[in-house]
Structure 1
């Protein structure tokens, strides 16, 4: 019996020697698979993080933007089977904080960083004066135009107002240069609300007033009227009502549109001769304004990285979040998404080759119009999507569509 005990002890010792002293910490992170940083960029950033943090491994998962919100919600109840780090949109913090999905990291953010990062980026991760992550994607929509088409139409400068855009589009169409000069992302999705928000900001409209719907009055109504008018005049591609941002990029890059509204990432891709027929002919400007109301317009399309409340490794997750959002990393990968850091905009790594983008950003980033920061935003957006889309299909007038949306939205809390 004494021999058996000794043998068992020796075997246990051998097993202990053969096992690793410490297992790697595994993080799970959720990202989107379109716009802003590419999957290749995120994987490269992650590899650099793992190299700088031995013993920490990150499993990265990508889903389309349209699936991101529901994926986060579903994972929130998954315990340790969920995510440690999540990418979330500027429109979701109110809901996610109310439901307890995100960790409060207010005390972890260095006070000095607040003034170094754009205010529009901070709104992405701030709710009720507390911080729930780090800004990561600083984005808005810009007006893209085809320089060659404008020149052939005898147009010397891109439009500064939405009325000028419509007029130039009519001129281009009359000359037969392209059948539908303007392309948008107006599918019944959040993309439609982003274009609507851009126009609403230009016309001086608003979503809510004293917590009640206000989009059935003023500038928001004018925004939908403008959208419908460009369809009726045949200057907007009617397929825009089925398009998302990638569709817009492909149509514009194929030379089938003179104007497009899209995010930062399109600038690099539309200028890439491997992916675009119009490389070298891509102009970019802030989205236009409205005479007497605005000089330009912009929607806040920023996104942040947060730590899921059910993360088993919050300290390592915070290291990963701060690494990805650091100035050095953002400057290195600034071709599809511009940095959140103010000082980056004088760095050659950021500005070289995209001087016109940075010039447009200098205007647009200070104008970004915020969609409502309310816990019921997803339901509100779905109501607006359905009713605005009906107006764009000609099933309802812009006023009637927004009145119907307001009546439904008034019941949300």
Structure 2
């Protein structure tokens, strides 16, 4: 049996050891929580900070004699169809044609931009669905315009209809891109008798910068589209379709829900849209294998007004207001959604959910293998046919005056 005096003597030592252990654990927990908060803050800032285009593939070979280029194989670079490639060297942008050969690690594609024998291309490159990167490449009449948006004049391109028409489509590009992304859509709408207005919006690198210089994922950018609708109305538009790409889809939806001019919107076309941002960000975090608690912290930092310093300033992101599936009862405009089930960036789940919630308004054209905002590139005939059919079936292929 233990001597009571020895037991009593050991109690202070035991208590002291426990205190040291608790202190060490508390310090470790505090360090862990601080580290998680820092990483969550960085993730939050990354979401709302306009970013320069980053390389996502590598050029491994260039054959100027055969006019071919070889890239590291990926789900994007191996896609059939026509694409673009942002590069460095003598050619800042290249048009790419069909896949000529595919190996275990590389893909060789036909060059549609001629590179002279003396040309060179850097190794780092960014694969793109743009295809056209300048309006002149469409070989259609256009004029540069300035739209009086709330933060100041915002540049736009105006492609007039072939014949006088009061039908307009306003094209809204996605996150981290510019209005050149939407050049692909000009021909199909021109054939339908539409004037195309390709707009810029705050913090996209072309339009004026907000005081914080950060995105709100559609929560404030829609005001610049509201100004574009006013511009179109002053120029004679009586039938207006909004078309949004990726984050541009979120902006188009917010304009349709919030704009003072929403009664002048006749329809919405969305390509690979962000309909529920919380779902999009969780999906992207999952692709990066980020822990769920960290993702929750980042979403909290984005959505809470008190967490401005964590996200680098800027307004809180109103995720509930941006969740259009939740707000589907408020929708009033017919809508065509074009989305690939293996988008790879913005999951198509919310597009399916919105189509199920509002089958009276929403039609979903589902692609596979086409990836994010590359549906036109992957299957231009089907993409064009879907838009043409939707516009025609809803009677949007005629001027309002012709309907009376």
Q: Normalising to structure 1: TM-score of the pair? A: 0.30
Of Structure 1 and Structure 2, which has the larger fraction of its residues in strand? 2
Q: Normalising to structure 2: TM-score of the pair? A: 0.31
Q: Which has the larger radius of gyration?
A: 2
Of Structure 1 and Structure 2, which has the larger fraction of its residues in helix? 1
